[in-house]
Structures are given as C-alpha cells and as structure tokens.
Structure 1
Amino acid sequence: MLIGLVRHGKTDWNEEGKIQGQTDIPLNAAGIAQAISLGNRLSSEERIWDAVISSDLKRAYATAQIIAEKLNIPLLESDPRLRERYFGEVEGTKEQERHERWGTDWRNVAEGVETNEAVRARGLSAINEWKLAFPDRNLLVVSHGSFLAQLLAEVCTGLEDQYLSNLSYSILERREEGWHPQLYNCTIHLTP
C-alpha cells in the first residue's frame, strides 16, 4: 500500500503569514494554479493512485478535487480527521502578534491549541482504518502542513523535520516494518 501526502495549495492567509488552523479559508488563484501543476505532474507520471481523500476544509478539498479530476480517479468523501491542527485563539494571527501576545512558547501558552499527541492520534486512526478498508488501494491524501508534519513524525522514524511547502508531495510505502518514505516534501512541479 502507498499513501501520498499532499499539503493544500496557497490561500490568502498563507500569503499574509496568518496561521489558519481549522479556520476554513479557501484557495486563492495561486493555490489553484499549484494544484493544477501537481495534477499535471501526476497525470504525466506512471499511474499509482487509485483514489484521493482530503480534509473537509475548503482549501484541502478544492486541491483534492482538482487533482482527482486531472487524474480521473475517485474523490472519496472528505474526512474531518485530516483537518489541520486546531490552533484555538491563535488562529488568524501572524507570528509577530503571537510572540507579542503569548511569547515564543505560544503553542503551550495560548488557549485551545491542539496537542501533538491529539493530532497524531487523528492521523493514525485514519491510516489504520484505510489499511483495513483499502489494503490493495493506493490513496492520495490532501491535508495541511502541521497535521502532515505530525503524521510523518509519528509513522517515519528518523525523518528530517522540514517545513512542508504548499503543494508539497510525499509518498509513504507500507512495508512489514512500517512506513517507509519514498519521496519527501517534493515541489519540483512548482518550479517553472
């Protein structure tokens, strides 16, 4: 089984440097173009994906729709477990504002920020369900940066912690000993 992990395309809040969390911000024109670029890349490569599934937030779902249409594969019902980390009162703020209001340790100080453990538990729940429901299918998953970073850290030991760019593409392969990264944080489809 393969699982592809894609971070959604850009939004206005991404460009403004605001943290989105579960605030439901749509893709902007740049984000739509990014999704089309990845769809074009995947449609020109050997077909490995059987279906696409995404978070139920607009930015991820729209990215998934574009890719599924380009690949002519099913778009499964969205899954709220794939949502971005909930950032509580921090959502909608820029980094400088977070540091001024809560300090550099804002993740542990601000009200309502979902823990790493809770984010990882949601991700593992989804993966374990897919292994049972779709053991012979390869799923392309469209989600969010912090969520995907936590999921990758949980299932891939020793993986270098990198910032996951908008429309980054990673591939995990299920082996007997666990999940193995075949591709990590790739964005070659975004270079002109």
Structure 2
Amino acid sequence: MTKIGLIRHDVTEWNDLGKAQGITDVPLNDEGISQAIKLGHRLSEDEKWDMIFTSDLSRAFETAKIIGSRINLPIKSLDKRIREINCGKIEGTTEEERIQIWGENWRDLDLGMETFWDAANRGIQFVEEINRVYRGKRVLVVSHGALIGLTLQHLLPDKFSTTYIDNTSITILQNIEGNWTCNLYNCTVHLK
C-alpha cells in the first residue's frame, strides 16, 4: 500500500491579500513559516515518512524544507509537474481587480490560463508515477491548492465534485491494490 500525504504550502503575503499566485514565485510570510513549523511538529509525532517531493516554487519548497528539518528527512526532488495552475494574466490580481479590468465574466475570456484538465492531468501523472515507482512507501508531496484540488476531483470524482484546500493542510491518499482512497481530507488540526 502506497500512502501519499498531499500538503498545500503555507501562507504567503499574496494569500493574505487575495491575489492569484499561479506560477509567480511568491515566498512564505512569517505566518507561513510558523505554520510550517507546526505541521512539521505534527508530522514528527505521526508515523514515519519515507521521502518528500515538492513543487519547485519557493512557497512550496520553503514549506517542504521546514517540514523536512522537523522530521529529519531531506527533500528527494523538486518537480515542476506539481506546480500551481498557471493563472496567465490574472496572476497578481484580486477578484475585484479582475472585475475592474476584464468585467464580471472574466472567467469566460482567454487570459492565458492553463486549463483545469491540464493541471489535473499533471497531478494525476505525478501521483500515479509515485505509486508505481515508490510502491509501499509513505511519501509527502508539498504542492498548491488548485493543483491538489483538481487532482483529487479527477482521481476520485465520486468523492470530490468540488474541493477547497486550506494553506498548510494535509490530505492523505492511499493506493490499495490499484484503487485510490482518501481517508484524510484538508486537515489543519495542527494549526488550532
């Protein structure tokens, strides 16, 4: 049985401001660093994990590095496939700014955004590869909210028609005899 812990990176200044981050490389803020320490502490008291993979964007990499230092586990690999969805022209804007610039129907415009299917496909390919190459291992994956949510929706459509992934949350996927299950979703108990 392969177990994958999907972790959304911790808080950034753009998260606090409600700005779309996409693939813009925004670092963690002080609160985000504190959140990563709390999650690392929680994971140090959990079962042992075998490896950590992370998106190459600094907010995910920083989160993975802090967690890894708490559980004595180096980062195995940085992987562009688990980057956030590319938000094109809307990166760095708030919802209010998007409406001012492109109107209320801005979602219907071609603003250079990656499709939800393309982002989900990247996530699914990555998770399936982890399951194939590291079968039977316990793998932490530090990624991004939309990428994790879209991956879950397409990997387990009967369970997830919509998702919301909180900063610093952990979601646990297990693959048992070729079937994916999700026994823990969007858990942030370590922040309370």
- The answer, yes or no, to whether TM exceeds 0.5 is yes
Matches within 5 A, 1:174-185: 174-176=175-177, 178-185=179-186
SS at match of 2:137: coil
Q: Distance in 1 between matches of 2:37 and 2:139?
A: 18
Q: What's the counterpart of residue 123 of structure 2?
A: 123
Q: Match for residue 70 of structure 2?
A: 70
Is 1:189 the counterpart of 2:178? The answer is no
Residue in structure 1 matched with residue 87 of structure 2 by the alignment: 87
State the match for 1:106 in structure 2: 106
How far has the Cα of 1:104 moved from its partner? 4.2
Letter in structure 2 aligned against 1:62: E
Q: Distance in 1 between matches of 2:178 and 2:133?
A: 20
The whole-number CA distance in structure 1 between the counterparts of 2:104 and 2:130 is 37
- Aligned residue number for residue 133 of structure 1: 133
CA contact (8 A) 2:172 2:184 kept: yes
TM-score by length of 2: 0.94
SS for the counterpart of 2:85 is coil
Q: Do 1:173 and 1:181's aligned partners in 2 also have CA atoms closer than 8 Å?
A: yes
Shift of 1:16: 0.8
Is the CA contact (8 Å cut-off) linking 1:17 and 1:95 kept in structure 2?
A: yes
Shift of 1:61: 0.4
Change in Cα spacing, 1:29 to 1:46, as seen in structure 2 (3 Å) is: same
Amino acid at match of 1:27: L
Change in CA separation of 1:103 and 1:180 when aligned onto 2, cut-off 3 Å: farther
What's the secondary structure of 1:56's corresponding residue? coil
Alpha-carbon contact 2:82-2:143 (below 8 Å) kept: yes
Which consecutive unaligned segments of at least 5 residues does structure 1 have? none
Could you tell me which amino acid in structure 2 is paired with residue 137 of structure 1? K
Q: Give the paired residue count.
A: 190
Question: Which residue of the partner structure matches residue 10 of structure 1?
Answer: 11
* Secondary structure of 1:77's aligned partner: strand
Conservation of the 8 A alpha-carbon contact between 1:90 and 1:110: no
Q: Map Cα deviations across residues 31-65 of structure 1 (whole Å, 9 max, x no partner).
A: 00000000001111232x11111100000000001
Secondary structure of the structure 1 residue equivalent to 2:7? strand
- 1:22, 1:87 within 8 Å by CA — same for their partners in 2? yes
> How far apart, in 1, do the equivalents of 2:177 and 2:108 lie?
36
Residue segments in structure 2 that go unaligned for 5+ positions in a row: none
Q: Tell me the CA shift for residue 128 of structure 1.
A: 2.2
Task: Quote the RMSD (CA, aligned, Å).
Answer: 1.4
Bigger mean CA deviation after superposition, 18-27 or 155-164: 155-164
Q: Give the drift of 1:110.
A: 4.1
SS at match of 1:15: helix
- Show the counterpart of 1:53: 53
1:4-49 Cα offsets, whole Å, 9 max, x none, are 11100000111111110000000010000000000001111232x1
Which amino acid is 1:46 matched to?
E
Equivalent position amino acid for 2:100 in 1: E
